[in-house]
């Protein structure tokens, strides 16, 4: 995240905060994350603990850690699906989560190469395409992911 902050046009502290904290609640048990979601008034995706760890982490960051940056909180909140009109911090976490240097899959290398060669928006479009194709093999796409892909294509494809 920090390595791409400049290219993505976000502040280093936004990159570090979102990067370190987006998976704050990933290790929670499914029933714990569902209970926390109910406590925080989160009503969507209650049947998908895997998706809920983002919204619950954002609330934890706001309530317990005093994080107030709305773009950072929304990046954490939506990092499993993306959303139409997402902030640049969110877009950056989406790219970094897929392509950070410890990711071993071939797509990660390619995403980093595109980032270097063609810039952040080209890398984002590549990562969205790869992630959606991967998810579609096993699950139905989340509506937020479909809307994110359509929106990004309209905004950034040349």
CB of 31 to Fe ion, least distance (A): 18
CB of 80 to Fe ion, least distance (A): 6
CB of 158 to Fe ion, least distance (A): 30
Closer residue to Fe ion, CB minimum distance, 78 or 112: 78
Q: Give the span between the Cα atoms of 1 and 17, in whole angstroms.
A: 9
CA distances from 48 to 4, 59, 89, 151 (A): 30, 17, 24, 24
Residues contacting Fe ion: total by CB under 5 A: 1
Closer residue to Fe ion, CB minimum distance, 65 or 113: 65
For residue 75, give the nearest of 17, 6, 5 by alpha carbon.
17
CB of 118 to Fe ion, least distance (A): 26
Q: Is 100 in the site for Fe ion (CB under 5 A)?
A: no
Closer residue to Fe ion, CB minimum distance, 23 or 100: 23
- CA atoms within a 13 Å half-sphere pointing along the CA-CB vector of 29: 3
CB of 132 to Fe ion, least distance (A): 16
Joined tokens for residue 7: 């290219």
Closer residue to Fe ion, CB minimum distance, 23 or 129: 23
Closer residue to Fe ion, CB minimum distance, 23 or 147: 23
For residue 114, give the nearest of 29, 7, 1 by alpha carbon.
7
- Nearest-CB residue to Fe ion? 23
Q: Give the span between the Cα atoms of 152 and 84, in whole angstroms.
A: 7
Host H or E run for residue 101: none
Residues 10-49 that bind Fe ion (CB under 5 A): 23
Binding residues (CB under 5 A) for Fe ion: these are 23
């Amino acid at each position: 995240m920090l390595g791409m902050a400049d290219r993505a046009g976000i502040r280093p502290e936004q990159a570090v905060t979102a990067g370190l904290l987006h998976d704050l609640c990933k290790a929670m048990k499914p029933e714990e994350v569902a209970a926390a979601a109910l406590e925080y008034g989160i009503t969507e995706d209650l049947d998908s603990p895997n998706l809920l760890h983002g919204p619950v982490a954002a609330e934890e960051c706001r309530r317990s850690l005093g994080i107030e940056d709305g773009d950072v909180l929304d990046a954490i909140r939506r990092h499993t699906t993306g959303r139409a009109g997402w902030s640049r911090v969110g877009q950056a976490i989406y790219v970094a989560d897929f392509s950070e240097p410890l990711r071993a899959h071939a797509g990660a290398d390619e995403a980093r190469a595109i980032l270097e060669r063609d810039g952040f928006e080209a890398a984002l479009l590549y990562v969205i395409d790869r992630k959606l194709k991967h998810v579609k093999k096993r699950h139905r796409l989340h509506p937020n992911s479909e809307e994110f892909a359509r929106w990004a294509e309209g905004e950034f494809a040349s």
